[in-house]
Chains A and B, each alone.
Chain A
């Protein structure tokens, strides 16, 4: 097997006295869609934010395509946090879609997608516009190019968020409960978009509470609990024949919430 695209070893992170990630090991191969599940507060969001260095990590290592994302210099206690310009370059290759969309409220859908293409990728305006239009069309929003986020429904906003992230052609895409702020009838349109991306071979890490979705897109499912990875395997292993006690309890709770 070739080197993993994302390689996480012994990752630790605390907020003050609370340990939020306590020795995470995780490999993600190219083209793989890894689904992360787990109870609230188990550290899923923090894990994604560390991969994109929206949070710094205290200990351990995260490499994306062979590059340590959070620190420069040789590994060990003397490594130093990366400069802002390093971080900007590294983050440009890691896409992220947020639970609350976080669209730029002053920019139209088209401009939201174009901003990174022009300012970060340095594309000429016309080319950036063409690429942004292409991606907005792929997520089904060619009618809404000139709408401001405030004029879009939640599902539409989230699809702009996805287009904004994928248009940068990231090496890996991080999705954090991207449907949990949506009304139930809008969830489907967003998940369909993600399914499409997964079948196109986009490498992604998906945090979700949608178990059917996890089963469908996940080539692998990771269960986190209390700051650790507790189970890691195929959807069949993790979701259908759970061996772990806490995992079984978690799945039972989720099942019960279903109508």
Chain B
């Protein structure tokens, strides 16, 4: 059987794809912001904490990192409300899941970043009389953020791709838009031939922009 590709639908439903892409990027953005807050807080709790806080942080990180994101999405969207006798918006539930997920990954990133701040530079901060809080705000934090910036870029791209999983709970992001068009036009092949390059192009464009940003904040050479 001869199959003829037909891309007419793309123009008809372009807004579904466009708004889907916009939502995907927003979801990834919110998730990495909240993930950074979680990750940094837990990295600090881990480095300064006692055995119990360390154990709690490790449990959270290990659990999230060893369970499929898809399962976590279902668990948060269907599992938890069913036990608590409430319901929430799919988008909200997905943001919660993706934030917890990215938080678990970013703990490790921030921990490595904090460790990468040279001890001598912190000593220099002490030597000019900075208080511990000032040393954190003006020395450790800004250096650490510059060190982890490339990892944050990679994490963001990774989260952007992960947003495609939100389609399974009907969050209207890009993959959901694709599925929707597919079921309404039966143009299975064409839909994926369009959506795949959209993900690629968007991901590369975002990455190029982030690398530009990294260049601006790069710490000087011989270190």
B-chain residues with CB within 8 Å of residue A165 when the two chains form the complex: 127-128
User: Which residue on chain A has the smallest CB distance to residue B117?
Assistant: A105
Q: A66-74, A82-90, A138-146: which lies at the B interface?
A: A82-90
| Chain B proximity of A131: nearest CB distance (Å) | 13
Instruction: Tell me, yes or no, whether B124 is within 8 Å of chain A by CB.
Output: yes
Q: Mark A98-129, 1 if CB is under 8 A from B, else 0.
A: 10101111100000000110011000000000
Given A98-B120, A102-B121, A102-B124: A92 and B129 interface contact (C-beta under 8 Å): yes
Give me the interface of A with B, judged by CB distance under 8 Å.
Answer: 52, 54, 84-85, 87-96, 98, 100, 102-106, 115-116, 119-120, 148-152, 161, 164-165, 168
| Contact sample, A vs B, 13 pairs, CB 8 Å cutoff | A54-B126, A94-B127, A98-B124, A98-B127, A102-B123, A104-B124, A104-B138, A119-B130, A120-B130, A148-B219, A150-B221, A168-B128, A168-B129
Most buried by A among B124, B139, B146, B217: B124
A-chain residues with CB within 8 Å of residue B146 when the two chains form the complex: 105-106
Q: How large is the interface on B (under 10, 10 to 19, 20 to 34, 35 or more residues)?
A: 20 to 34
Q: Mark B109-133, 1 if CB is under 8 A from A, else 0.
A: 0000000001011011111111110
| Complex-state Cα separation, A91 to B138, whole angstroms | 17
Instruction: Tell me, yes or no, whether B2 is within 8 Å of chain A by CB.
Output: no
User: Which residue on chain A has the smallest CB distance to residue B125?
Assistant: A104
Specify which of B121, B124, B131, B220 is in contact with A150 (CB 8 Å cutoff). Answer: B220
Question: Shortest 7 CB-CB distances between A and B: which pairs?
Answer: A150-B220, A92-B129, A116-B128, A102-B124, A96-B127, A102-B120, A120-B129
Specify which of A98, A106, A150 is in contact with B123 (CB 8 Å cutoff). Answer: A98
Inter-chain contact total with CB atoms closer than 8 Å: 89
On whether the beta carbons of B128 and A106 are closer than 8 Å, the reply is: no
B-chain residues with CB within 8 Å of residue A120 when the two chains form the complex: 128-130, 134
Instruction: Tell me, yes or no, whether B223 is within 8 Å of chain A by CB.
Output: yes
On whether the beta carbons of B130 and A116 are closer than 8 Å, the reply is: yes
Specify which of A85, A150, A164 is in contact with B128 (CB 8 Å cutoff). Answer: A164
On whether the beta carbons of A150 and B219 are closer than 8 Å, the reply is: yes
A-chain residues with CB within 8 Å of residue B128 when the two chains form the complex: 91-92, 95, 115-116, 120, 164-165, 168
Instruction: Tell me, yes or no, whether B89 is within 8 Å of chain A by CB.
Output: no
A-chain residues with CB within 8 Å of residue B130 when the two chains form the complex: 88, 115-116, 119-120
| Complex-state Cα separation, A165 to B139, whole angstroms | 16
| Complex-state Cα separation, A96 to B118, whole angstroms | 17
Given A54-B123, A100-B120, A104-B139: A151 and B129 interface contact (C-beta under 8 Å): no
A-chain residues with CB within 8 Å of residue B223 when the two chains form the complex: 105, 150
Given A102-B120, A104-B139, A115-B138: A88 and B220 interface contact (C-beta under 8 Å): no
On whether the beta carbons of A105 and B143 are closer than 8 Å, the reply is: yes
9 additional A-B pairs beyond A93-B129, A94-B127, A105-B143, beta carbons within 8 Å, are A54-B126, A54-B127, A84-B131, A88-B126, A89-B129, A98-B127, A105-B121, A116-B128, A149-B220
On whether the beta carbons of A150 and B222 are closer than 8 Å, the reply is: yes
Given A102-B118, A105-B121: A88 and B143 interface contact (C-beta under 8 Å): no
A-chain residues with CB within 8 Å of residue B129 when the two chains form the complex: 88-93, 116, 120, 168
